[in-house]
Amino acid sequence: MTIWRDVIQRTLGGTMGRRGILIKTLTLLLVETAIIFTIVLLGLYLRFGSFAGSVLFEQRGIYKIFFTTFICQFIFYLFDLYDVSKPRLRRELLTDIFQAVGVAILILGLIFMLRPTLLIGYLQEIEGRGVGHYANGVPLIAMILALLMMICWRLVIHWLMRHPLLGERLLIIGTDNLAREVAHEAMLRKDLGYKVVGFVSEDPALVGKSLINPSVLGVVGDLISIVEKENIDRVVVALQDRRGHMPVDQLLQIRLQGSAAIEEGTSLYEKLTGKIKIEMLRPSWVIFSGGGKRRTAGNLLRRLFNFTAAFIGVLLSMPLALLTALAIKIESQGPVFYTQERVGKNGRIFRIIKFRSMRTDAEKDGTPQWALKRDPRITRVGNFIRKTRIDEIPQFINIIRGEMSFVGPRAERPFFVDQLTTQIPFYSQRHLVEPGLTGWAQVNYGYGASVEDAIQKLQYDLYYIKNTSLLFDAWIIFKSIKIVLIGYGR
């Protein structure tokens, strides 16, 4: 059974943290591309029968099918149906699927109404074959089939990912806050394939007691026997104080025998949450972590991408920028843009450029203030452009200058940086990279309005700095596009 479980786990992408999530996401995307494509083809053949080949190849139906598939999957993406790390109950999954398919039908219907030539089956008369000039039954047939197939497929995947025979069985060494938080996060994300079997404690009095649901199975001295008895796949070392407490000999024996994988609790926490908890952080975890070094070729490629994309962004956003500037001037007196000192890479000060979204007297006393939720200083136009991130369009200029990157920690004001550096450990480490137009913290947490918010965002920033890569940047940009489209922000 263990061999088959390993095979299935590898087929489904395994449980390898962010890499495993990416593999599962890509697998889900490719399989559903094939499903939708096949369903549309089936609808085509049901509608046209023997003439389907002519519609498919002579009338460029194949390109229309790809277009329809792209629209459907883009809508699924907006509804977070490709976020495999998001905990989701079965009824929530069904609700999201019904809503996504419904929206896809409405959008495709609107597109086909405005551009009927994009309709699959829209064609001129084929001499001698008796085929009319268009047929509107293909999208309807395909969407009905798609709804049924997607529900069945997603329910099967949902069941497989949560099945106890397929998940990795975790044994956690430790019973303090770190151990409980790791267990809690693993239990929240059942679709990632983890099952917390229990804990191992140094205190015999805790044996048999339930901490958050799984109980303490035994003491450290029984570690090897517990691993064998409970068929453990991964032992998670979640001891906050390891000096003189970590069972080194037993962990070595488990590792050498191949009985189970060994992993640090902090490492698993990072994989599960996408952030580094400051209370768990030690300098050695960042110093000795994989990646983090940006080689010369990578730096040049990143700089070339930033410059080119920002330059194109300036050109494409010009009409929207002009409309925004006009709206700002109509609503309130004052400049269209505002510039402000921010802290960049290695602590260098630069002036960030934005569309003005607040009243001109927002800080009339001269003291910097956090931006609040429903901040009364924000104008009506400002509220809209902040939600849609239009106010950040002028930052393309900062990117062209090399002061910012597309992806990185949010650039903060020197006043708040000085304040937070004294209050939050490792805060200055976020200046090891260029600040970004978007970033891992921005897509996961949004704007900060307090020291507590700054701590939460720093945890995501440190995770990004530790795991930075071009692929990670691309993933963050992709998530940012969704945030802009659905108007999430403040």
Same-domain pairing of 313 and 383: yes
What are 267-313's pLDDT values in tens digits?
A: 888 888 888 887 766 666 556 554 445 566 677 888 899 999 999 99
- R_g over Cα of the chain: 27
pTM: 0.70
Q: 355-376: buried (b, 16+ CB within 10 Å) or exposed (e) per residue?
A: bbbbbeebeeeeeeeeeeeebe
CA distance 216 to 5: 25
Give the pLDDT of residue 125. 42
- The answer to the question of residue 283 being in a domain is no
Give the pLDDT of residue 126. 42
Same-domain pairing of 256 and 382: no
CATH number at residue 191: 3.40.50.720
Same-domain pairing of 256 and 338: no
Same-domain pairing of 337 and 434: yes
Give the pLDDT of residue 362. 67
Give the pLDDT of residue 404. 95
Same-domain pairing of 99 and 213: no
Same-domain pairing of 362 and 444: yes
Same-domain pairing of 358 and 312: yes
Q: Match 């998670």 to its residue by tokens.
A: 236
- CB count within 10 Å of CB 458 equals 25
Low-confidence residues of the chain: pLDDT under 70: 1-22, 48-61, 84-90, 119-143, 146-147, 161-167, 190-192, 241-245, 280-297, 362-374, 446-449, 486-490
Give the pLDDT of residue 486. 67
Same-domain pairing of 329 and 421: yes
CB 121 within 8 A of CB 137: yes
Same-domain pairing of 375 and 257: no
- The answer to the question of residue 470 being in a domain is yes
Parent domain of 198: 168-273
Same-domain pairing of 132 and 216: no
Same-domain pairing of 118 and 231: no
Of 162, 193, 218, at which residue does a domain stop? 162
Cα angle at 137 between 136 and 142, to 5 degrees? 120
- The answer to the question of residue 280 being in a domain is no
What are 233-245's pLDDT values in tens digits?
A: 889 998 876 665 6
Count the domains in the chain: 3
- CB count within 10 Å of CB 27 equals 15
Same-domain pairing of 354 and 455: yes
Of 162, 188, 222, at which residue does a domain stop? 162
- The answer to the question of residue 269 being in a domain is yes
Give the pLDDT of residue 409. 93
Give the pLDDT of residue 311. 94
Backbone angles phi, psi at 80, to 5 degrees: 65, 25
- The answer to the question of residue 109 being in a domain is yes
- The answer to the question of residue 477 being in a domain is yes
CA distance 15 to 8: 11
Of 162, 184, 207, at which residue does a domain stop? 162
Cα angle at 43 between 39 and 45, to 5 degrees? 115
CB 76 within 8 A of CB 100: yes
- The answer to the question of residue 321 being in a domain is yes
CB 151 within 8 A of CB 93: no
Give the pLDDT of residue 321. 93
- The answer to the question of residue 278 being in a domain is no
Contacts of 192 (CB under 8 A, 6+ apart): 15, 20, 21, 84, 85, 161, 186, 272
